[in-house]
């Protein structure tokens, strides 16, 4: 947008400069050409007046001295032509030029006009590239009769040089005005667009801020046009409303999950206490109800974990990832050995420390190891590695289970989503969603890959300390 606005300003300034500069340049050329024409016309009229008596007395040679001095002084060729002969009787070439050919296309029309008794017409516009001399002819009248004509052929070098310098000055002034206008336009455009740029940045930050539970920074209204300041205030109110709404939603999920645990626990105890007090045919339903209550408890636990991940405050703490991996692997190794699964752990040679929310790495590992052990068959292995690469801590959990189809990878982090092929495996579909929220919270990356040999590899990258 800045480029488009500056382009419009540049176009308008260029249009204004050219609209003023071109007429000015043409006016300068016209004035200079008119000045030259009037100067030569005045001299021509004077010579026509001086030539009246000599031409009447048939003694044009009397004009020789004056014409020669004029030609030598101004470099202008002057010819005196009689009406009877139609040829030059006195010629004073200026600037060492040869005698002028009266049959020249530039001379003959003007000579014919003068011999017809008509005055010289104004010359056309003089341009710097026009090298033709200025040819003027004036009739010599005596007692109302045409006795002859005076012709002057004037070089235009000096006039064209002056026009050229004037045009250079006009062009330089136009460029200076253009540069001055641009130097003023750039800060004005920046002042206009500063709120727009801030709104654009705030819009990009809004989603990540509300999803991670952070407060949204206000755009502010200190600078910019009044209309954009008003838009900034409206955006701040909208962002605050969205943040409050999502915060209330998360609080509701956390409170509801917490409050539902006690009734579910009591319900499970009542179902357990009914053992031996129901008919044998109905006991299967009691056992199924207990299993469903356990499933509901797991879902509530994961909902609480999701709420904690989304409601994490702005504090990030440095965590020794190697230590956390070792500790959590030790706890989960009991589950792995019970299912005849090998849990292999490989940590970085150098200490891997990451900036994460408190107990964030614990939650990530618990969710990933829980999924990996659920989907890995007996006699197989789960591999956990922690490395440091390019200021990023990479944590990888790879299992050898059934994995996912390539078209399912993009949906695997959605809440409550489960692959159709995993419906017989206990779970709620919140594990990877919790990991995704925690990783987004710290500006990390979550990648799901299908390694050679089958299974699923979940790669988490978070900023290193």
Query: Beta-strand (E) ranges in 257-363?
Result: 317-320, 342-346, 353-356
Q: How much is the pLDDT for 107? A: 78
Query: What is the CATH number for 72?
Result: 3.30.450.20
Q: Of 311, 330, 364, which closes a domain?
A: 311
The DSSP line for 172-186 is HHHHHHHHHHHHHHH
Query: What is the CATH number for 304?
Result: 1.10.287
Q: How much is the pLDDT for 398? A: 92
Measured CA to CA, the distance from residue 133 to residue 153 in angstroms comes to 6
Measured CA to CA, the distance from residue 204 to residue 239 in angstroms comes to 12
Using 50, 70 and 90 to split pLDDT, how confident is the model at 94? low
Mode of pairing for the β-strands spanning 134-142 and 317-320: unpaired
Q: What is the pLDDT of residues 228-247, one digit of tens each?
A: 777 777 777 777 777 777 66
Determine which of 6-20, 93-107, 348-362 has the lowest per-residue pLDDT on average.
93-107
Q: Of 292, 311, 330, which closes a domain?
A: 311
Q: How much is the pLDDT for 143? A: 76
399 to 172, 379, 454: CA distances (angstroms): 74, 12, 8
Question: Does residue 130 surpass a pLDDT of 60?
Answer: yes
Phi-psi region of 312 (alpha: psi -120 to 50; beta: other; left: phi over 0): beta
Measured CA to CA, the distance from residue 425 to residue 428 in angstroms comes to 10
Q: What is the pLDDT of residues 36-84, one digit of tens each?
A: 888 888 888 888 888 888 877 777 778 788 888 888 888 888 888 887 6
User: Do 380 and 435 fall into the same domain?
Assistant: yes
Using 50, 70 and 90 to split pLDDT, how confident is the model at 289? confident
The secondary element (H helix, E strand) that includes residue 282 is helix 280-310
User: Do 156 and 285 fall into the same domain?
Assistant: no
Domain presence at residue 173: no
Q: What average pLDDT does this structure show over 379-395? A: 88
Q: What average pLDDT does this structure show over 331-344? A: 89
User: Do 28 and 130 fall into the same domain?
Assistant: yes
User: Do 153 and 15 fall into the same domain?
Assistant: yes
Collapsed DSSP state (helix, strand, coil) of residue 89: strand
| Other beta carbons within 10 Å of 252 | 11
Phi-psi region of 192 (alpha: psi -120 to 50; beta: other; left: phi over 0): alpha
Measured CA to CA, the distance from residue 148 to residue 53 in angstroms comes to 11
User: Do 143 and 16 fall into the same domain?
Assistant: yes
Q: What is the pLDDT of residues 101-124, one digit of tens each?
A: 777 777 778 888 888 778 777 767
How many structural domains compose the chain? 3
Percentage of the chain exceeding pLDDT 90 = 3
Q: Which has more confidence, 344 or 357?
A: 344
Domain presence at residue 199: no
Question: Does residue 286 surpass a pLDDT of 60?
Answer: yes
Q: Of 267, 283, 311, which closes a domain?
A: 311
Using 50, 70 and 90 to split pLDDT, how confident is the model at 349? low
Domain presence at residue 171: no
Domain presence at residue 197: no
- DSSP letter at 464? B
User: Do 132 and 8 fall into the same domain?
Assistant: yes
Strand partners, 398: 383, 457
Q: What average pLDDT does this structure show over 344-352? A: 76
User: Do 286 and 376 fall into the same domain?
Assistant: no
Q: What is the pLDDT of residues 295-317, one digit of tens each?
A: 777 776 766 666 666 555 556 78
Q: How much is the pLDDT for 87? A: 57
User: Do 294 and 354 fall into the same domain?
Assistant: no
Question: Are 71 and 64 a contacting pair, CB within 8 Å?
Answer: no
Q: What average pLDDT does this structure show over 356-382? A: 86
Measured CA to CA, the distance from residue 92 to residue 226 in angstroms comes to 76
User: Do 303 and 337 fall into the same domain?
Assistant: no
Question: Does residue 387 surpass a pLDDT of 70?
Answer: yes
Domain presence at residue 177: no
User: Do 114 and 53 fall into the same domain?
Assistant: yes
Domain presence at residue 46: yes
User: Do 45 and 154 fall into the same domain?
Assistant: yes
Domain presence at residue 389: yes
Question: Does residue 441 surpass a pLDDT of 60?
Answer: yes
Question: Does residue 100 surpass a pLDDT of 70?
Answer: no
Q: What is the mean pLDDT of the chain?
A: 78
Closest CA to 216 of 235, 197, 230: 235
User: Do 13 and 158 fall into the same domain?
Assistant: yes
Mode of pairing for the β-strands spanning 381-389 and 77-82: unpaired
Q: How much is the pLDDT for 213? A: 59
Determine which of 1-15, 30-44, 80-94, 315-329 has the lowest per-residue pLDDT on average.
80-94
Domain of residue 420 covers 315-463
This prediction's pTM: 0.45
Question: Does residue 137 surpass a pLDDT of 80?
Answer: yes
Token pair listed for 442? 């710290």
Token pair listed for 362? 């614990």
Using 50, 70 and 90 to split pLDDT, how confident is the model at 397? very high
Collapsed DSSP state (helix, strand, coil) of residue 241: helix
Q: How far apart are the first and last CA of the chain?
A: 38
Domain presence at residue 205: no
């Amino acid at each position: 947008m800045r480029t488009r606005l500056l382009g419009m300003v540049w176009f308008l300034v260029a249009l204004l400069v050219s609209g003023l500069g071109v007429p000015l340049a043409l006016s300068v050329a016209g004035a200079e050409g008119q000045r030259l024409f009037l100067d030569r016309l005045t001299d021509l009229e004077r010579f026509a007046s001086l030539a009246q008596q000599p031409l009447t007395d048939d003694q044009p040679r009397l004009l020789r001295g004056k014409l020669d001095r004029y030609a030598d002084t101004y470099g202008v060729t002057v010819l005196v032509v009689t009406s009877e002969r139609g040829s030059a009787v006195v010629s004073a070439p200026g600037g060492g030029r040869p005698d002028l050919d009266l049959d020249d296309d530039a001379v003959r029309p003007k000579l014919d006009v003068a011999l017809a008794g008509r005055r010289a017409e104004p010359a056309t516009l003089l341009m710097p590239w026009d090298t033709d001399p200025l040819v003027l002819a004036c009739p010599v009248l005596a007692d109302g009769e045409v006795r002859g004509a005076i012709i002057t052929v004037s070089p235009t070098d000096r006039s064209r040089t002056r026009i050229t310098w004037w045009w250079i000055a006009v062009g330089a002034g136009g460029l200076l005005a253009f540069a001055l206008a641009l130097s003023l336009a750039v800060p004005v455009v920046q002042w206009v667009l500063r709120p727009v740029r801030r709104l654009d940045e705030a819009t990009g930050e809004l989603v990540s801020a509300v999803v991670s539970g952070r407060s949204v920074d206000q755009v502010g209204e200190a600078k910019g046009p009044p209309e954009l300041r008003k838009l900034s205030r409206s955006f701040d109110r909208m962002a605050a409303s969205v943040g409050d709404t999502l915060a209330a939603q998360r609080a509701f999920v956390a409170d509801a999950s917490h409050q539902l645990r006690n009734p579910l626990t009591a319900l499970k105890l009542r179902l357990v206490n009914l053992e031996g007090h129901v008919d044998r045919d109905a006991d299967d339903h009691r056992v199924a109800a207990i299993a469903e209550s356990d499933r509901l408890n797991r879902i509530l636990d994961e909902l609480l974990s999701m709420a904690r991940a989304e409601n994490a405050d702005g504090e990030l703490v440095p965590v020794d990832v190697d230590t956390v991996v070792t500790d959590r692997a030790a706890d989960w190794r009991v589950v792995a050995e019970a299912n005849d699964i090998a849990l292999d752990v490989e940590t970085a040679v150098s200490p891997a420390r990451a900036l994460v929310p408190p107990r964030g790495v614990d939650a990530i590992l618990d969710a990933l190891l829980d999924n990996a052990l659920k989907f890995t068959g007996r006699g197989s292995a789960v591999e956990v590695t922690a490395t440091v690469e390019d200021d990023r801590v990479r944590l990888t959990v790879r299992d050898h289970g059934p994995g996912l189809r390539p078209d399912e990878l993009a949906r695997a982090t959605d809440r409550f989503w489960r692959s159709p092929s995993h419906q017989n495996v206990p779970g709620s579909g919140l594990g990877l969603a919790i990991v995704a929220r925690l990783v987004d919270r710290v500006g990390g990356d979550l990648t799901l890959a299908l390694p050679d040999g089958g299974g699923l590899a979940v790669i988490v990258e978070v900023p290193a300390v």
